[in-house]
Amino acid sequence: MKKSIIKSTGMFVPPNIITNHDLEKIIDTSDEWIQQRTGIEQRYWIDQDGATGASDLGFEASKIALKAADWTAQDIDFIIFATLSPDIMFPGSGCLLQAKLGLDSTPALDIRQQCTGFLYGLATADAYIKSGLANKILLVGGEVHSSGLDKTTRGRDITVIFGDGAGAVCIEGVETDEQAGVLSSALHADGNLAEALMTELPASRLPLRVPEGVPTDDARYYPVMDGPLIFKKALRMLPKVINESLEKAHISLDEIDLIIPHQANIRINQALGQFLKLDDNKVFHNIQKYGNTTAASIPMALHEAMEQNRIGASGDVVLFTGLGAGLTWGSVIYKFL
Ligand code: UT7
């Protein structure tokens, strides 16, 4: 039977490092508050003078992943692009990336599942491979948050968190009897809590999606979040969905070599590790360097975990998990071939 195997990874962040001290200069915040409450020390933002979209960051990450897989762009038979910050309203960033790769007919699918975009994307790639619809898939998570943040004290709870970046993986269907590849996935959503984390405007449900008389710096043009609610939800739902994915894969938590959670807040991931009674080195963190890059955070973390040899040897098992806007949450278990 075909198994969905990660052949390679790539990641890219734009060149501008924004430290917590840089943010202190524009909003009422402090390095101490940000580090204590989130673990973040710095993040990367695009050059505010140029035009860089999620597909541009995704393109750079894709080139690295393609080279590592020894694939050319022509080898790809399906592109999945996960983002909440598409380059433009439409068409999707997957189409824009496809053109940048020099392709003109390869199918491209955008996934708008925010922090769990990579999890939904990995489960989708696995389903496409197992059903025979595709065999060589480029899965990308890419975000440009910095051009849409409220860089005033009003938006400080969110603005200090988000960073720009992209991660890419090449996934191939491989015929093998080994227990390998995507072992299970568990995905969920609760749209009743959409307002807990959202950007409301522009809105196609309004007679004028850019409403008249609303100033362009209105808070509704920026992301708003009920941080404490999301924090509590994450700690309640992630252990449940992790167990669900373990049960589906018929393996125990002891058999997981590394958990790579979405990088939303180091306190969430440390508390999750404590709740699951895991050694500290079993949960991967890189939020300190990148902040929360939403759909890019898990593939970027996977890339770094593999570079650091924390995971990736034949037989290693990694569990990806996360919760975010939607709300959406999920867990995917992957075993290296
Ligand atoms: O990836 C998408 C999913 N998102 C998440 O998983 C995020 C989950 N939530 C969180 O990570 C946390 O809730 C935050 C980091 C966003 C906020 O941390 P918190 O410990 O929950 O703080 P809070 O919102 O309860 O605010 C505590 C205080 C408030 O002041 P008062 O009312 O106590 O005087 C805020 O105004 O901290 C204040 N505050 C800040 N102070 C300095 C909020 N943001 C900042 C800031 N700098 N950047």
The pLDDT profile of the chain, 337 residues, written as one tens digit per residue, is 899 999 999 999 999 999 999 999 999 999 999 999 999 999 999 998 778 999 999 999 999 999 999 999 999 999 999 999 999 999 999 999 999 999 999 999 999 999 999 999 999 999 999 999 999 999 999 999 999 999 999 999 999 999 999 999 999 999 999 999 999 999 999 999 999 999 999 999 999 999 999 999 999 999 999 999 999 999 999 999 999 999 999 999 999 999 999 999 999 999 999 999 999 899 999 999 999 999 999 999 999 999 999 999 999 999 999 999 999 999 999 999 9
**Cα-trace Rg, the chain:** 19
Domain boundaries defined on the chain:
2-175, 181-335
The Cα–Cα gap between 58 and 93 comes to 9
pLDDT of residue 49: 78
Kindly state if the Cβ of 227 falls inside 6 Å of ligand 1: yes
pLDDT of residue 20: 98
- At a CB cut-off of 8 Å and minimum separation 6, what does 197 contact? 114, 223, 224, 225, 226, 230, 324, 325, 326, 327
Q: Which atom of ligand 1 is closest in space to residue 267's alpha carbon?
A: 11
pLDDT of residue 160: 97
How many angstroms separate the alpha carbon of residue 158 from the centre of ligand 1? 8
The answer to whether 95 is a known catalytic residue is: no
- What letter represents residue 119's amino acid? L
Taking residue 213's Cβ as centre, other Cβ atoms within 10 Å add up to 6
CATH number, domain 2-175: 3.40.47.10
pLDDT of residue 50: 77
The Cα–Cα gap between 141 and 322 comes to 14
Q: Which atom of ligand 1 is closest in space to residue 292's alpha carbon?
A: 1
Identify the active-site residue in 20, 95, 262, 286.
262
DSSP 253: G
Kindly state if the Cβ of 157 falls inside 6 Å of ligand 1: yes
The H or E element containing residue 258 is: strand 258-261
The Cα–Cα gap between 297 and 330 comes to 14
User: Do the two domains 2-175 and 181-335 of this chain adopt the same fold?
Assistant: yes
pLDDT of residue 334: 98
Kindly state if the Cβ of 159 falls inside 6 Å of ligand 1: no
- What letter represents residue 242's amino acid? I
How many angstroms separate the alpha carbon of residue 228 from the centre of ligand 1? 7
Q: Which atom of ligand 1 is closest in space to residue 294's alpha carbon?
A: 1
The Cα–Cα gap between 171 and 181 comes to 9
Return the SS3 of 197.
strand
The Cα–Cα gap between 131 and 162 comes to 36
The answer to whether 262 is a known catalytic residue is: yes
Q: Whose CA is nearest to atom 45 of ligand 1?
A: 157
Query: Token match 């609303």: residue?
Result: 214
Of 55, 270, 258, 286, give the one whose Cα is nearest residue 163. 286
pLDDT of residue 97: 98
Considering the four listed CATH numbers 3.20.20.80, 3.40.47.10, 2.60.40.1890, 3.40.225.10, the one that applies to the domain covering 181-335 is 3.40.47.10
pLDDT of residue 110: 98
Q: Whose CA is nearest to atom 43 of ligand 1?
A: 157
How many angstroms separate the alpha carbon of residue 257 from the centre of ligand 1? 31
Predicted TM-score (pTM) of this structure: 0.97
Q: Ligand 1 pocket check: which of 26, 27, 30, 37 to mutate, most ligand atoms within 8 Å of Cβ?
A: 37
